[in-house]
Structure 1
Amino acid sequence: YVILFRYLASGCTFTELHYTYRIGISTASKIVKEVCKAIWMVLRVECIPTPTREMWKSIASDFETIAYFPHCIGAVDGKHIRLTCPFRSGSMYFNYKDYYSVVLMAVAYCRYKFVFVDVGSFGKDCDSSIFKRSCLWQSIESNTQSQPEEKCLPGTESPKVPYFFVGDEAFGLHRHLLRPFGETHLTFEKRISNYRLCRARRYVECAFGILSNKWRIFHRPLNVEPNFAVDIIKACTVLHNFVRDRDGFLIDDTATITALDDLPQEHVIRGGISANTIRTIFCTYFVSDVGSVPWQMSRI
């Protein structure tokens, strides 16, 4: 474990481990690989458990009280983990940022912990395609995921709104995935909505930042085979959650929502609500007395 943590936390190479611990380079590589696999197998169930309905409700409650974004069950984004050029890989790992990588697709929440991770997609793939292929999204579309039931937004009586993830403009709009408005000349309500969504989405970006600064192996290209890189990334995500659980989380929750108001009834659609309508509901909600926060006017 000393060799593994030295490798992950300092970002050193196997050659440096060879000189520091007087072991062979191949031996150091084998130790790191085997321990990474063991960490993932042993700690994954404890640190990144399969989400249950109660877990989703707890996450949504955190987003509502900490990020002031109700019905959100996670912020989703992809992070490109830099690789040295894999042997005979062609352009499969070459991404739009002009370097080789594998993608860490993750869903995080307000405690800066990962709820779900999908590791190993080619660097050339876009975030939206990777997430749609993930087992989490497929379980949502097939209605096998135990999500909370639809309910009204806090302080309102109608309509009932489903729970969803939030993502950036790389993702497609869906009933269970909200993205910001992408037009160039946005109305006041849409700018407020984008700001509030950005506040909720930032938690996955911050989680990636904490991950890469705690495990500084991500500050340089991984000079290993892609499958080995996947093992390293998986181990680091599990260790990230383990450290977050150990250190705990404190937040000074100062802003409050006190007024109550109902949404306009024209948003109610019989037979279900479309993704665009859900986004419009939140756009209206965030500028109402019940859904606004005191500081949002100064942020746009």
Structure 2
Amino acid sequence: MLAIVDHNGRFRSITIKHPGSVHDAAVLKDSSIYRNAQNVIPQIFKNVNGKTIPYMIVGDPAYPLLPWLIKGYSGSLSAEEESFNVYLNSARQVVETAFGRLKARWRILCKKMDCNYKFAQQIILTCCILHNFVKNNNEKFFAEWLQEVMTTAELFPQPKIDRNRERNSIGATLVRDHLKEYLASNYPLRKALIR
């Protein structure tokens, strides 16, 4: 499943067509957001130290670096690159929280679904719609629900997949480097807590 989550933790775009073994970048390329990025993503720009920076979606390391999708640095990192990743990952925390709460509220997503695989897509979509509904209506969420989900995740871990197969856009690389330099010059350098 590929999903775009807004800053309030609501699902805005969902792609549910592929089994979990398909590489995330392949799912992205098959999504409506990839095919229609110029029409879907607001064409908003901000001047950051003399460079025009487009509105971008924050992605995880599995996705390619694109003009409209930014991700962190990988490999051996400089202090500035590590700090950039820490700041970027703090923005991604909204996505992690949304997925955690989605699975915590609708536990059917945490286990094998006893239904035809074609119907599973409808179940996942329905859970995402219900997630947005309860989010919009400020329904209570109980932290102990997350603990139960974490226990399930430990029992059924996902397979490890090589997540760095895609080439990055040169223009997007320049934007990311510019933002890295801006953060390093204007904010304290941060270190990752886990290495």
Superposition TM-score tier, normalisation by shorter sequence: 0.7 to 0.9
SS at match of 2:9: coil
SS at match of 2:16: strand
Give aligned-pair identity as a percent: 27
SS at match of 1:194: helix
> What is aligned with 2:190?
297
Aligned pair 1:134/2:28, yes or no? no
Note closer, same or farther for the CA distance 1:282–1:146 as it changes in structure 2 (3 Å cut).
Answer: closer
Aligned pair 1:188/2:76, yes or no? no
- CA-to-partner distance for each residue in 1:97-147, whole Å, 9 max, x for gaps? xxxxxxx2101122111111111212221111111211111111xx33352
SS at match of 1:224: coil
> What is aligned with 1:145?
40
Q: 1:170 aligns with which of 40, 62, 68?
A: 62
Instruction: Give the CA deviation at 1:164.
Output: 1.0
> What is aligned with 1:244?
135
SS at match of 1:144: helix
- CA-to-partner distance for each residue in 1:49-96, whole Å, 9 max, x for gaps? xxxxxxxxxxxxxxxxxxxxxxxxxxxxxxxxxxxxxxxxxxxxxxxx
Aligned counterparts of 1:139 and 1:245: Cα–Cα separation in 2: 26
Instruction: Give the CA deviation at 1:148.
Output: 2.5
SS at match of 1:181: coil
Note closer, same or farther for the CA distance 1:281–1:248 as it changes in structure 2 (3 Å cut).
Answer: farther
Counterparts of 1:42-81 in structure 2 under 5 Å? none
Q: 1:222 aligns with which of 104, 113, 128?
A: 113
Number of aligned residue pairs = 164
Aligned counterparts of 2:139 and 2:184: Cα–Cα separation in 1: 33
> What is aligned with 1:179?
71
- CA-to-partner distance for each residue in 1:244-298, whole Å, 9 max, x for gaps? 000179xxxxxxxxxxxxxxxxxxxxxxx81110010111111222xx26xx536
- CA-to-partner distance for each residue in 1:190-221, whole Å, 9 max, x for gaps? 01001011111121111110000011112221
Aligned pair 1:202/2:106, yes or no? no
Check conservation: 2:82, 2:191, Cα contact below 8 A: no
Calculate the TM-score normalised by the size of structure 2. 0.77
Q: Which runs of 5+ in 1 are unaligned?
A: 1-103, 250-272
SS at match of 1:238: helix
Aligned pair 1:108/2:5, yes or no? yes
Considering Cα pairs closer than 8 Å and 6+ residues apart, tell me whether 1 or 2 has the greater RCO.
2
> What is aligned with 1:122?
19
